[in-house]
Amino acid sequence: MKKLVLVLVSILILAAACQTAAPVTEAPDDLIACPGGWAYRANVIESGEPNPWPPVDISAVAFDDNVSVNYRSHIETAAGETRNNIVSVGVPLTTSYEPPVINLYTTNTTAGIEITQGDAYSRPGFSEQVLVVNISRSIKPGEYTFQIGIAVNGKDYGQLPCTINVSK
Protein backbone atom coordinates (compact mmCIF):
# COMPACT_ATOMS: atom_id res chain seq x y z
CA MET A 1 0.00 0.00 0.00
CA LYS A 2 2.86 2.40 0.82
CA LYS A 3 4.35 1.78 -2.64
CA LEU A 4 1.02 2.58 -4.31
CA VAL A 5 0.69 5.84 -2.37
CA LEU A 6 4.28 6.77 -3.24
CA VAL A 7 3.64 6.08 -6.93
CA LEU A 8 0.41 8.15 -6.88
CA VAL A 9 2.15 11.06 -5.14
CA SER A 10 4.99 10.90 -7.69
CA ILE A 11 2.48 10.99 -10.56
CA LEU A 12 0.69 13.99 -9.04
CA ILE A 13 3.98 15.85 -8.60
CA LEU A 14 4.97 15.14 -12.22
CA ALA A 15 1.53 16.22 -13.48
CA ALA A 16 1.75 19.47 -11.53
CA ALA A 17 5.24 20.12 -12.91
CA CYS A 18 4.01 19.55 -16.48
CA GLN A 19 1.12 21.97 -16.02
CA THR A 20 3.36 24.71 -14.68
CA ALA A 21 6.05 24.27 -17.32
CA ALA A 22 6.38 26.92 -20.01
CA PRO A 23 4.13 26.23 -23.00
CA VAL A 24 5.77 24.53 -25.96
CA THR A 25 5.71 26.72 -29.03
CA GLU A 26 5.82 25.43 -32.56
CA ALA A 27 7.88 26.96 -35.33
CA PRO A 28 7.47 26.66 -39.09
CA ASP A 29 10.83 24.90 -39.42
CA ASP A 30 10.30 22.34 -36.67
CA LEU A 31 11.11 18.90 -38.02
CA ILE A 32 8.34 16.43 -38.84
CA ALA A 33 9.25 12.79 -39.54
CA CYS A 34 7.66 11.68 -42.81
CA PRO A 35 7.92 8.37 -44.67
CA GLY A 36 10.37 9.93 -47.17
CA GLY A 37 12.54 11.67 -44.57
CA TRP A 38 12.35 14.92 -42.63
CA ALA A 39 10.06 17.82 -43.53
CA TYR A 40 9.44 21.28 -42.13
CA ARG A 41 6.27 21.67 -40.05
CA ALA A 42 5.07 24.49 -42.34
CA ASN A 43 5.41 22.22 -45.39
CA VAL A 44 3.29 19.39 -43.93
CA ILE A 45 -0.39 20.18 -44.18
CA GLU A 46 -2.98 18.13 -42.33
CA SER A 47 -6.09 17.47 -44.40
CA GLY A 48 -8.86 19.88 -43.52
CA GLU A 49 -6.69 21.99 -41.22
CA PRO A 50 -5.45 25.49 -42.08
CA ASN A 51 -1.70 26.00 -42.28
CA PRO A 52 -0.75 28.85 -39.92
CA TRP A 53 2.55 29.50 -41.77
CA PRO A 54 3.66 30.10 -45.33
CA PRO A 55 5.73 27.18 -46.63
CA VAL A 56 9.47 27.11 -45.94
CA ASP A 57 11.21 27.90 -49.23
CA ILE A 58 13.69 25.35 -50.51
CA SER A 59 16.49 26.00 -53.04
CA ALA A 60 17.53 23.32 -55.53
CA VAL A 61 21.06 23.07 -56.91
CA ALA A 62 22.41 20.63 -59.49
CA PHE A 63 26.06 19.57 -59.42
CA ASP A 64 28.21 17.43 -61.70
CA ASP A 65 27.60 13.66 -61.77
CA ASN A 66 23.81 14.28 -61.55
CA VAL A 67 24.11 15.08 -57.84
CA SER A 68 21.26 17.32 -56.68
CA VAL A 69 20.96 19.23 -53.41
CA ASN A 70 17.88 20.80 -51.83
CA TYR A 71 18.41 23.10 -48.86
CA ARG A 72 17.26 26.29 -47.22
CA SER A 73 19.29 29.21 -48.56
CA HIS A 74 17.55 31.93 -46.53
CA ILE A 75 16.48 31.81 -42.88
CA GLU A 76 14.47 34.51 -41.07
CA THR A 77 14.78 34.42 -37.29
CA ALA A 78 15.13 36.43 -34.11
CA ALA A 79 18.10 36.42 -31.75
CA GLY A 80 18.02 33.60 -29.22
CA GLU A 81 16.20 31.15 -31.50
CA THR A 82 17.13 27.82 -33.06
CA ARG A 83 16.33 27.09 -36.71
CA ASN A 84 16.67 23.93 -38.81
CA ASN A 85 18.07 23.49 -42.30
CA ILE A 86 17.43 20.15 -44.01
CA VAL A 87 20.13 19.47 -46.60
CA SER A 88 18.90 16.72 -48.95
CA VAL A 89 21.23 15.08 -51.47
CA GLY A 90 20.13 12.90 -54.37
CA VAL A 91 22.47 10.80 -56.50
CA PRO A 92 21.85 8.43 -59.40
CA LEU A 93 21.16 4.88 -58.23
CA THR A 94 23.93 2.37 -58.73
CA THR A 95 23.81 -1.39 -58.64
CA SER A 96 24.91 -1.30 -54.99
CA TYR A 97 21.70 0.48 -53.88
CA GLU A 98 23.67 2.09 -51.06
CA PRO A 99 22.59 5.49 -49.79
CA PRO A 100 25.11 8.23 -50.56
CA VAL A 101 27.43 9.21 -47.75
CA ILE A 102 27.18 12.97 -47.28
CA ASN A 103 29.52 15.09 -45.25
CA LEU A 104 28.54 18.68 -44.60
CA TYR A 105 30.84 21.39 -43.34
CA THR A 106 30.35 25.11 -42.82
CA THR A 107 32.67 28.04 -43.42
CA ASN A 108 32.50 31.78 -42.81
CA THR A 109 30.23 31.46 -39.80
CA THR A 110 29.74 34.53 -37.65
CA ALA A 111 30.42 34.64 -33.90
CA GLY A 112 27.05 34.19 -32.23
CA ILE A 113 25.80 31.69 -34.81
CA GLU A 114 26.56 28.06 -33.98
CA ILE A 115 25.83 25.33 -36.51
CA THR A 116 25.75 21.68 -35.49
CA GLN A 117 24.67 18.53 -37.25
CA GLY A 118 21.36 17.04 -36.21
CA ASP A 119 19.44 14.00 -37.35
CA ALA A 120 20.09 12.20 -40.63
CA TYR A 121 18.02 10.01 -42.94
CA SER A 122 19.13 7.82 -45.85
CA ARG A 123 17.75 5.46 -48.46
CA PRO A 124 19.19 4.24 -51.78
CA GLY A 125 20.07 7.26 -53.91
CA PHE A 126 19.13 9.80 -51.22
CA SER A 127 20.55 11.13 -47.96
CA GLU A 128 19.72 14.12 -45.84
CA GLN A 129 21.33 15.79 -42.90
CA VAL A 130 19.77 18.39 -40.63
CA LEU A 131 21.86 21.41 -39.73
CA VAL A 132 20.78 22.99 -36.45
CA VAL A 133 21.40 26.74 -36.42
CA ASN A 134 21.57 28.28 -32.94
CA ILE A 135 21.37 32.07 -32.86
CA SER A 136 22.82 33.72 -29.76
CA ARG A 137 20.61 36.08 -27.76
CA SER A 138 23.39 38.66 -27.95
CA ILE A 139 23.75 38.76 -31.74
CA LYS A 140 22.83 42.07 -33.33
CA PRO A 141 20.03 42.28 -35.90
CA GLY A 142 21.31 42.04 -39.45
CA GLU A 143 22.07 39.73 -42.32
CA TYR A 144 24.72 37.04 -41.90
CA THR A 145 25.93 34.67 -44.63
CA PHE A 146 27.85 31.44 -44.27
CA GLN A 147 28.70 28.59 -46.63
CA ILE A 148 27.54 24.97 -46.50
CA GLY A 149 30.09 22.62 -48.01
CA ILE A 150 28.81 19.43 -49.66
CA ALA A 151 30.89 16.27 -49.99
CA VAL A 152 29.22 13.15 -51.40
CA ASN A 153 30.88 9.73 -51.29
CA GLY A 154 34.24 11.40 -50.63
CA LYS A 155 34.02 13.96 -53.47
CA ASP A 156 33.72 17.65 -52.53
CA TYR A 157 31.13 19.39 -54.73
CA GLY A 158 31.73 22.87 -53.36
CA GLN A 159 29.87 25.27 -51.11
CA LEU A 160 26.39 26.77 -51.10
CA PRO A 161 25.47 30.12 -49.51
CA CYS A 162 23.02 30.35 -46.65
CA THR A 163 21.83 33.75 -45.41
CA ILE A 164 20.39 34.30 -41.95
CA ASN A 165 18.38 37.47 -41.42
CA VAL A 166 18.20 38.21 -37.69
CA SER A 167 15.29 40.53 -36.93
CA LYS A 168 14.93 42.95 -34.03
Q: What confidence tier does 50 reach under pLDDT thresholds 50, 70, 90?
A: confident
Q: Is the model's pLDDT at 124 over the cut of 80?
A: yes
Look at residue 128 in the predicted model and tell me its pLDDT: 92
Average pLDDT over residues 24-28: 78
Spatial separation of the C-alpha atoms in residues 75 and 56, rounded to whole Å:
9
Q: Is the model's pLDDT at 1 over the cut of 70?
A: no
Give the lowest-confidence range in 27-41, 60-74, 88-102: 88-102
Q: Which domains does the chain have, with CATH numbers?
A: 26-46+55-167 (2.60.40.10)
Q: Is the model's pLDDT at 165 over the cut of 70?
A: yes
Q: What confidence tier does 51 reach under pLDDT thresholds 50, 70, 90?
A: confident
| DSSP string computed for 106-161 | EESPPTTEEEEEEEEEEETTEEEEEEEEEEPTTPPSEEEEEEEEEEETTEEEEEEE
Q: Is the model's pLDDT at 106 over the cut of 60?
A: yes
Q: Is the model's pLDDT at 70 over the cut of 70?
A: yes
